[in-house]
Chains A and B, each alone.
Chain A
Amino acid sequence: MATTRLAFVVRSLPYKTEASRLAMTHAIASQTVEIYLEDGDMVEPVVCFIGDGVLNCLKNQAAGKHYDVTSLEMHIKNSLLLDLKVMICKEDLDRLGIKEDALIMHAEDLGGETRAQIVPYSEIKKELDSVNHIQIF
C-alpha cells in the first residue's frame, strides 16, 4: 500500500488558456485512478493557486453563460466536494486586492465539507516540499 502525492500548481489565468482547467480536471481524475492501481495504492493531489492563478478562485463565474462551458468555479467546488486539498496564496490575493469573501472557499451548496485554505506562500512551499511530484500549469 502506497500513496503518491502530486501537486498541481496553477499559475495561469482562467479562460485565457486551457491550462488551469486541465490542472483541475487532471487533479479530479485522482478519484478514479484506483482502477489502474493495486488495492490500497492511491494518488493524492493537492491544488495550489499562486500568482495570477488565484484569479481562478473568484466566485460568480459565468462561463456557462458566455462560453457555454463548465466554469472553473464548478471544478474548484467539485475538488472541494471530493475533499481535495486546495490552497490559495495569501500574498497574491493581497497583491490583487482580493478578499476572502470574493473567493470560492467551500462547496457547501453541493454538500461538501472541505474548505479551501488561504495560506502564506511559505505554507505552499512546505506542501510542495512534501509531495512526490510537482506539476505547474
Chain B
Amino acid sequence: MGKLTMGVFPGLVGSLSLDFSVKLAEAAVKKGHKVDFWVSSNATMLSKKGQRAFKDYSTLYKTLEELFKTGNFKACACEACAEARGYHKEDTMEGWIRKSMDWYLASCFDADRVLLIGGE
C-alpha cells in the first residue's frame, strides 16, 4: 500500500474543498493507504477543538476522530498559520500535531503521491 501526502489550504466553512479533502483522505485510508494530511492557511481551522455540528455546516471532526484511530492517518497543522489566526496549542483537537512547513516537505519526500488542494 502507498503513502499519500495531502497539502490542504481552504477554510472549514465557505467552500466544500476541505470536505472533499477529508473525504479523499478517508477513502485512501479505507483502502489501506497511509495519509499525511497537512493543513496550512485557513485550513488550520480544521484543527481547532470545540467544533459543533449543525446541519447547515460541514462537520468534519467526527471523521477525523475516526481516522486518527486507524493509525494510518497523521494530521499536522502549520503552527504559524494557526497562531496567526488565534488558534493556539491549547485550542487544538486531540490527535493533531503542529509543526512548521518543513514537516510537510519531509512527508513529500517519501510519498507515493502528493496532492495539493489550494485555498481561496
Q: How many A residues touch B, CB cutoff 8 Å?
A: 25
Return chain A residues, CB-CB under 8 Å to B9. 18-19, 22
Return chain B residues, CB-CB under 8 Å to A41. 109
* Known contacts A18-B119, A136-B118, A137-B116; A26 and B106 CB within 8 A of each other: no
Return chain A residues, CB-CB under 8 Å to B101. 25-26, 29
Interface-facing stretch out of A30-38, A56-64, A94-102: A30-38
CB nearest neighbor in B for A4: B109
Tell me if A135 and B114 are in contact (CB < 8 A). yes
Return chain B residues, CB-CB under 8 Å to A31. 102
* Known contacts A26-B101, A135-B7; A43 and B119 CB within 8 A of each other: no
Whether, in the assembled complex, A6 has its beta carbon less than 8 Å from a beta carbon of chain B, the answer is yes
Partner of B104 from the list A17, A18, A26, A37 (CB cut-off 8 Å) is A26
Partner of A30 from the list B41, B42, B102, B114 (CB cut-off 8 Å) is B102
Chain A at the B interface: mostly helix, strand, loop or mixed? mixed
Tell me if B108 and A29 are in contact (CB < 8 A). no
CB nearest neighbor in B for A36: B106
Within 8 A of A (CB), among B68-120: 100-106, 108-111, 113-114, 116, 118-120
Return chain B residues, CB-CB under 8 Å to A6. 105, 108, 114
Whether, in the assembled complex, B40 has its beta carbon less than 8 Å from a beta carbon of chain A, the answer is yes
Return chain B residues, CB-CB under 8 Å to A2. 109
Tell me if B109 and A33 are in contact (CB < 8 A). yes
B6 to chain A, nearest CB (A): 11
4 other A-B residue contacts (CB within 8 Å) besides A22-B41, A43-B108: A4-B110, A25-B101, A26-B7, A33-B105
